[in-house]
Amino acid sequence: MPERPSVPSSHTVLPDAVERIQREQHTLLASAGVGIAFMHGQEIVRCNERFAEILGYASARELAGCTGTSLHPDARSFLRLARAARTRMLQGLTFRTECQLRRQDGTLFWGDVSGRLIDPQAPGEGSVWTLDDIDAQRQAQALLNTALRERQLLFDHASVGIIFMRRGHLTRCNGHFETMLGYGPGELIGTSARHWFASAAEWERLEQNIARQLTVGLSFEGEMMLSRKDGGTVICEVRCKLIDAHDPDQGTIWITDDITERTQAQAALAKVHEQLEQQVRDRTRELSATVEDLHREMADRKRDQDRIYWLAHYDPLTGLPNRTLLADRSTQAIQLARDNGAPLAAIFLDLDHFKHVNDSLGHRVGDTLLVQIAKRLRSVVREKDTVSRIGGDEFVLLLPGANAHGAARVADKLLEASRQPYQIDHHELTMAPSMGIALYPQDGMDFDTLTQSADVAMYHAKLDGRNTYRFFTPEMRAQSLRALQLENALRRALDRDELQLHYQPQVRIRTGRVHSVEALLRWNHPKLGPISPSEFIPVAEDTGQILQIGEWVLRNAVAQLKAWRSAGLAELKIAVNLSAIQFHQPQLPDLVSQILHAAAVPPDALELELTEGVAVNDPRTATETMDQLRSRGVRLSIDDFGTGYSSLSQLKRFQIYKLKIDQSFVQDLDHDGNDRAIVSAIIRMAQALGMQTTAEGVETDAQLQFLRDMGCDEAQGYYFSRPLPPGEELLDFLKGRA
Ligand SMILES: Nc1nc2c(ncn2[C@@H]2O[C@@H]3COP(=O)(O)O[C@H]4[C@@H](O)[C@H](n5cnc6c(=O)[nH]c(N)nc65)O[C@@H]4COP(=O)(O)O[C@H]3[C@H]2O)c(=O)[nH]1
């Protein structure tokens, strides 16, 4: 409880009034929210409890008698305050200050101190002081000030523009924002946001957008284009927020960040990036184009190489392997056969009279025929066999694993297949092969020897009548050498005058008279001696020399006939053998006419002897040639009839004048009933068709007798005369039987 104040002794007052004043004073001191002290000089006379409480004393009584100095941090601060207070208080004014004071425990605090003299006229009466503890207030103020200072610093030095807006107008902004838009300090205050927007449309769009965000309590964030005072533009990243979410009237705060450079840098970066990407795309495109070109080039090169390889290894016409590839495959096959002890066969196949097709029907038909033949050959053999074309009409078949038996089977199949005619345009053609078979290792240990052996065997198949096959034998090689020898010798035979014609009379059986002679070629080589036409004519046919030789024969035979006719044998006729190759020469009819005309010999004095096979391959062309010859008056006969292939219809169609019965049927007439039957049948058939018959190789009287009995028209043979050179002996014979 506070002590009752004592009554000043110098005044005289009524006791009741004094008491009431004392009570009021007591109540005032006790209820005052501030500390109150009465001082006399520098000493506290009395104070209220609040005063003691503020200064950290247990009761007001403890402070009575304390000096003012003890309440201050030090004597100097007390004296300073006392001096300042005295001056003011002596003027009758209240001294008021805020100063630091010391509590009883020594701690300092801020106090709000006011002092006033009780009677300025009598300073000795003392003074009244009020004290309030404002320490917390001071600290709060200090914190507030710091915060305000910091905020101002932030505001002033922020690297972003800060704007306060209210009702669409700028109320405050920092220097950064002003600098950003190029305005001076304070210039923007009060301006509308529209003022610093680049376009009205932009502002309206954003204003609505911002308003929408803010009304739902969200902040707005976005980019906008602001307009500078100098007309330039600034791209800003803007964040906008209500200052008080509950009171929109408080306005908004905007934080604006100039991102022009960043945006431009980003745009530049994007552009560079795009350019880079474009370059990469272009480069990629170029690269892929280059890669494509490369691939194309590689493919072209590969195709070219394949083509070159193909051309080097295949026959362009038939697509069959050529000689080079055959050689490769043969070498491999031989190696394999050697390693495995397996058999291996090669067939050399040559088409009989293929040249005639080319000569008479043209190369296009010839080529088409070759293609079809190639296909047929391929269809006959197995997959692993090689069918190659090594020359115009020459094929070699390589048959790995085939022994003699297997090779013969293949050859038989090829012969069988060749019987089926080929249809090319309106031509129906048959093309027979002659084949030679050589076996590894006995007929050749390498490709060259093996194919040569097969070639030699093929040659023999041709000699043996064609359209057949032969196995190679060592003797054949010797004969081939002979053929080669003959071929070379034959080239010079005409020039060296080694050829000569002999003539054999053809005697009418019924009368014994000679109506015609057959010209037979003779070759007497100075070293090789006399060589049979049966041997050298096939060689001449193979090499094509027959054309030159044949023409020589025709000219000489016709010239000789002219000589005989002039010498008195006016009705004599002459028969000349014609090779099939000659017959297929388109110019043959003209050549014959020209020779006859040159010798002034009538055409019907000439008889051309053809073999049966001449019309087999190409009956149409043969018919045309025959028609032409006959229309010029020349007679045609079929030589060696019965050994080849003729059809009755052809004989009729060709209007053959004479059939010459082959001497092989005549030879054994005496003891071979079959031959007799054949010969009589030929004679009867010829008679039926209105053709003459001449029997060849008649050597005996019995043969002649049989032929006479059968009604044969003519006979030719040693029985009457050997073929003789055109000399005295022959002339005498002819004249004797004219
Ligand atoms: N054993 C025997 N033989 C007889 C008898 N009478 C004649 N000969 C022979 O029989 C052959 C008949 O001639 P070819 O059948 O036309 O057969 C001819 C003919 O196809 C061909 N040839 C002959 N000369 C020519 C020619 O100038 N051109 C053509 N393309 N071939 C000819 O050569 C073949 C053979 O002629 P050559 O050796 O002269 O043989 C001749 C002849 O000498 C006989 O009583 N007994």
What pLDDT score does 3 carry? 39
The pairing of strands 514-525 and 499-508 is antiparallel
Give the torsion sign (CA, 459, 461, 464, 465).
negative
CA of 719 relative to ligand 1 center, distance in Å: 15
CA of 195 relative to ligand 1 center, distance in Å: 133
CA of 537 relative to ligand 1 center, distance in Å: 11
Could you read off the pLDDT of 400-454 as tens digits, one per residue? 999 999 999 999 999 999 999 999 988 888 899 999 999 999 999 999 999 999 9
What pLDDT score does 732 carry? 95
Can you read off the two tokens belonging to residue 428?
Answer: 């129906």
Q: Which residue's alpha carbon is nearest to atom 44 within ligand 1?
A: 697
- Name residue, tokens 């002979």: 482
What pLDDT score does 9 carry? 47
125 contacts: CB under 8 Å, gap ≥ 6:
117, 118, 119
Which residue from 554, 577, 662 has its CB within 8 A of the most atoms of ligand 1, so it is best to mutate? 577
Between helix 533-543 and helix 447-463 the angle, nearest 10°, is 120
Can you read off the two tokens belonging to residue 529?
Answer: 């001696």
Task: Say which amino acid occupies 465.
Answer: G
Q: Which residue's alpha carbon is nearest to atom 19 within ligand 1?
A: 577
Distance, in Å, from the CA atom of 358 to the CA atom of 392, rounded to the nearest integer, reads 10
Q: Which residue's alpha carbon is nearest to atom 4 within ligand 1?
A: 697
Distance, in Å, from the CA atom of 337 to the CA atom of 316, rounded to the nearest integer, reads 30
What pLDDT score does 5 carry? 42
Q: Which residue's alpha carbon is nearest to atom 3 within ligand 1?
A: 697
Q: Which residue's alpha carbon is nearest to atom 46 within ligand 1?
A: 697
ipTM for the predicted complex comes to 0.96
Atom in ligand 1 nearest the alpha carbon of residue 609: 16
pTM value is: 0.51
Distance, in Å, from the CA atom of 718 to the CA atom of 480, rounded to the nearest integer, reads 31
Number of H helices, E strands in the chain: 24, 26
CA of 685 relative to ligand 1 center, distance in Å: 24
Task: Say which amino acid occupies 190.
Answer: G
Atom in ligand 1 nearest the alpha carbon of residue 611: 20
What pLDDT score does 394 carry? 95
CA of 635 relative to ligand 1 center, distance in Å: 19
CA of 728 relative to ligand 1 center, distance in Å: 22
Residues of the chain with pLDDT under 50: 1-11
CA of 506 relative to ligand 1 center, distance in Å: 13
641 contacts: CB under 8 Å, gap ≥ 6:
612, 659, 660, 661, 662, 682
CA of 509 relative to ligand 1 center, distance in Å: 20
DSSP of 584-635: T-TTHHHHHHHHHHHHT--GGGEEEEEEGGGGTS-HHHHHHHHHHHHHTT-E
Work out the burial of residue 92: count CB atoms within 10 Å of its CB; fewer than 13 is exposed, 13-18 middle, 19 or more buried. exposed
Ligand 1: residues with CB < 6 A are 504, 519-521, 532-534, 537, 553, 577-579, 639-640, 663, 696-699, 717-718, 723
CA of 648 relative to ligand 1 center, distance in Å: 25
CA of 550 relative to ligand 1 center, distance in Å: 14
Atom in ligand 1 nearest the alpha carbon of residue 699: 45
What pLDDT score does 2 carry? 36
Atom in ligand 1 nearest the alpha carbon of residue 662: 15
What pLDDT score does 617 carry? 59
CA of 732 relative to ligand 1 center, distance in Å: 22
DSSP code for 722: -
CA of 592 relative to ligand 1 center, distance in Å: 21
222 contacts: CB under 8 Å, gap ≥ 6:
206, 209, 237, 238
Atom in ligand 1 nearest the alpha carbon of residue 579: 30
What pLDDT score does 270 carry? 84
What pLDDT score does 645 carry? 65
What pLDDT score does 616 carry? 62
Atom in ligand 1 nearest the alpha carbon of residue 660: 15
Which residue from 520, 578, 579 has its CB within 8 A of the most atoms of ligand 1, so it is best to mutate? 520
The pairing of strands 43-47 and 529-531 is unpaired
Atom in ligand 1 nearest the alpha carbon of residue 719: 45
What pLDDT score does 208 carry? 85
Atom in ligand 1 nearest the alpha carbon of residue 553: 27
Distance, in Å, from the CA atom of 21 to the CA atom of 611, rounded to the nearest integer, reads 184
What pLDDT score does 7 carry? 43
Report which of 640, 646, 560, 645 is spatially closest to residue 605, judged by C-alpha positions: 560
